[in-house]
Chains A and B, each alone.
Chain A
Amino acid sequence: MSLRTIAAAAILAVTGATAAHADLLDDIKARGELSCGTLNYLPGVGFLDDKGEWSGYDVDFCKAAAAAILGDPSKLKLVALTGPQKFPALDSGEIDILSRSVTQTISRETTLGYDFIGPNLMTGQGFMVRKDSGVTSVDDLDGATICVLGGSAQERYLAEYFAYKGMTFTPVAAEGGDQMYPMYFDGRCDAVTQEPPYMAIRRLRSGQADEHVILSDIISKSYEAPVIREGSPRLREVLQWMHWGMITAEEMGITQANVEEMAATSQDPNVRNFLGTDGNVGQDMGVSNDWMVNVIKAVGNFGEFFDRNLGKNSALGVERGMNALHRDGGVLFAPGWQ
């Protein structure tokens, strides 16, 4: 008991300096730089290339946040984190935002003391098969051998789904992705199961991309979201409305290419209000009025952001699916901007 008190006191002593401030938003503005934790080895998600350039979906969220808060996407310090490092880095204040494919769950949000933004990537458990297998849906996989990550939640969903459908399969459990994908590509398994974006990345790297197809069926959901520490309500508001703003921009047809022109010339009161040409939305939040112009100039609207990194304009070619606007059959929506 006393040991725990000492540990708690020590943690408070270390983190006290940041905890004392009212809101992390003010700290970031005072510092003039945003610190964002991400990953550096998955092209399309978070990748640091041999020229020192960062790219990817999770990286672009960080760039957008820097543009929103500081008006410049380059006022950004990106920190590459491994899986076990990600939450300690956020807890200790080393990073302001964690944008690293974190799955939003109720226990993380309510008992661990984090606030989730978005969620900005809605995916689930899918399947990849060889094109020449003739499989077009999960239900064709009766009797198949399936590679799965051992001890993962996917292993459970897989067994539950097949039992529910009255189908059989033989699992081959792998310790990690680096063991699992070679097994699948060598033909040990008829299918491999994981989230489609990750399967798309491995397919691309396998050098036999056109021989494999990712089925559009999803048997379980997984919502991924950037994370901040609890206790900075204004930072949370800025980031959440930035996410909604990118969706709103796609709804309004505002793109990276036309955003400046729209801001200057549009007569639509909704567009003028949204881009800060009229009104005071930005300043009331603690950022500049043209903050969404900066965000869209940096990363584009949600569709451009998705398609460039994961979607049809990327090498991965992941379909929008659930990540499309509500009017296009997806689940993305944004509250009103009044």
Chain B
Amino acid sequence: MADLAANAQGGARPFARLTAALSRPTTLAQVLFVLGVAALLVALTLVAQSNLERLSVKSGYGFLWEKAPFELGESLIAYKAGDTYMRAFAVGILNTLKVAALGIILSTALGLVIALGQLSPSSVVARVCRLYIETARNVPLLMQLIFWYAFLTASLPRVKQALSPVEGVYLSNRGLFLPALDFGGAGGQIGLALLAGLVMAVALMVWKLRTQARGNIAWAFWGLLLLPAIATFLLSGATVSLDLPELKGFNFRGGLAVSPEFLALLLGLTFYTAAFNAEVIRGGILGVPKGQTEAATALGLKRGQVMRLVVIPQALRIIIPPISNNFLNLTKESSLAVAIGYPELVRVANVTLAETSQSIECISIIMLVFLTISLSTSLFLNWFNARAALVTR
């Protein structure tokens, strides 16, 4: 009996708390708001479902295993018409990641140069950098992409009259063709070994920074980076040869090809985002108290050393949160490539949509992929930011 009474009492208290909370006007409004949003979602789903049934469109993601009847032009993995839609989407996602990764690296490097240029004592350099920032930031990215694309396709020579500054390098309005190293069949394994080496080398650098161990690690760094790849190469017994692009029939064959669509997108994204990055980096540098620079100079450090050893490490704490925002924007804006025909995710989704009429599914795939990319980039940068942030004790 005593137990029962205790239970009843215990049960009554949360209930009383709930009624008390509900009687407050703000809580009631919040509950109503959530219910309203839920009702809207349910209604939208029902309407979409009944409309799809009426149009006799079968919904679901089963089409991903059907054959995709289109070509995509450029791809990091093997793809041809007749492979599955799933594989076509993989091609699109990889192309998006490729341009985003290169764009992030290049726009950060260029942004740093421009930011330092703005802070340079030479007023000419500072003004040129300022002019660049104002121009690049204030012209819509879509216009810049179209400009670069038109510039590359209309002003570069035709494929038969390709510019060739060095033997094996050709530049035409079909793109840039470079010599490539051909490792027979072992290229993939060597690439993986190189990646593993890179992870180890970076781990070594992180360890050095965290333990503040003394000594020069340059040799160990390059060794860790390159040895696995060299070992794989020697063990696989592969031969290395130079694969030169050669004009055969309509186009250059062999070597490494960079299409004008990709180049235009990369240039557009890099120059646009670099302007924003430059401002973020400049803000970060100016945010470091002047006393730090003066103290470092007083210790006899040169201007470059002051930047590298004192100012930039402290500026990073200010820079990382806003610059990660810029990185996410660059990734998302890569979808504008659909205007110039680079086969990234949105273009694959568009042509799939035209073929299968699975519009809701295709759009949801685009959204899911960008959400995943953005959230994982964001998670990584938050983690990195937590590491770099000033630890107050």
Contacts and interface: CB of A to CB of B under 8 A. Distances in A.
Interface stretch (B94-102, B219-227, B347-355, B385-393): B347-355
B250 interface: yes
Nearest to B80: A163
B245 interface: no
A133 B158 CA distance: 12
A29 to B, nearest CB: 38
Nearest to B69: A156
A222 to B, nearest CB: 16
A150 B349 CA distance: 11
A144 B154 contact: no
A337 interface: no
Contacts of B338: 150, 175
Interface in B321-372: 338-339, 341, 343, 347, 350-351, 353-355
Given A151-B351, A159-B81, A171 B250 contact: no
A172 interface: yes
Interface string A138-152: 000111110000111
A152 B341 CA distance: 13
Nearest to B248: A143
Contacts of B347: 150, 173
Interface residues of B, number: 33
A172 B341 contact: yes
Contact of A173 (B248, B251, B351): B351
A175 to B, nearest CB: 6
Tell me the dominant secondary structure on chain B's binding face: mixed
B82 A144 contact: no
Given A150-B347, A151-B351, A163-B81, A188 B153 contact: yes
Given A160-B69, A170-B73, A188-B174, A150 B341 contact: yes
B355 A156 contact: yes
Interface stretch (A44-52, A59-67, A179-187, A200-208): A179-187
Contacts of A163: 80-82
Interface in B113-160: 150, 153-154, 158-159
A134 to B, nearest CB: 10
Nearest to A183: B153
B341 A173 contact: yes
Contacts of B339: 175, 179
Contact of A145 (B250, B253, B353, B354): B250
B354 A151 contact: yes
Given A150-B347, A172-B261, A159 B70 contact: yes
A171 B260 contact: no
A168 B288 CA distance: 58
A173 B73 contact: yes
Closest 8 CB pairs of A and B: A151-B354, A159-B81, A187-B158, A173-B341, A144-B250, A188-B153, A156-B69, A190-B250
B250 A188 contact: no
A143 B250 contact: yes
Contact of A151 (B82, B251, B350): B350
Given A142-B249, A160-B81, A163-B82, A182 B69 contact: no
A41 interface: no
B81 A145 contact: no
Contact of B251 (A158, A170, A175): A170
B294 interface: no
A230 interface: no
B66 interface: no
Interface in B219-249: 248-249
Nearest to A132: B160
Given A150-B351, A172-B73, 6 more contacts: A141-B250, A145-B174, A150-B350, A163-B80, A163-B81, A190-B250
A155 B70 contact: yes
B174 A169 contact: no
Nearest to B343: A173
Given A151-B354, A172-B261, A175-B339, A159 B69 contact: yes
30 contacts: A141-B250, A142-B249, A143-B248, A143-B249, A143-B251, A150-B338, A150-B351, A151-B353, A155-B70, A155-B354, A156-B69, A158-B71, A159-B69, A159-B71, A162-B71, A163-B80, A163-B82, A171-B70, A171-B71, A172-B73, A172-B341, A173-B73, A173-B343, A175-B341, A182-B150, A183-B153, A187-B153, A187-B158, A187-B173, A190-B250
Contacts of B343: 173
A187 B81 contact: no
A2 to B, nearest CB: 13
A123 B283 CA distance: 62
Please indicate which of the listed interface residues B71, B174, B338, B339 has the most CB atoms of chain A within 10 Å of its own CB: B71
A89 interface: no
A186 B151 CA distance: 11
Contacts of A145: 174, 250-251
A147 to B, nearest CB: 9
Contact of B70 (A144, A156, A175, A186): A156
Contacts of A172: 73, 261, 341
Contacts of A175: 338-339, 341
B133 to A, nearest CB: 30
A173 B348 CA distance: 11
A282 to B, nearest CB: 43
Please indicate which of the listed interface residues A144, A150, A169, A188 has the most CB atoms of chain B within 10 Å of its own CB: A188
B72 interface: yes
Contacts of A287: none
A281 to B, nearest CB: 43
A182 B260 CA distance: 14
Interface in B297-339: 338-339
A80 interface: no
Contacts of A186: 153-154, 173
A174 interface: yes
A152 B354 contact: yes
Contacts of A143: 248-251, 253
A170 B150 CA distance: 19
A190 B159 CA distance: 10
Contacts of B70: 155-156, 159, 171
Contacts of A151: 350-351, 353-354
A174 to B, nearest CB: 6
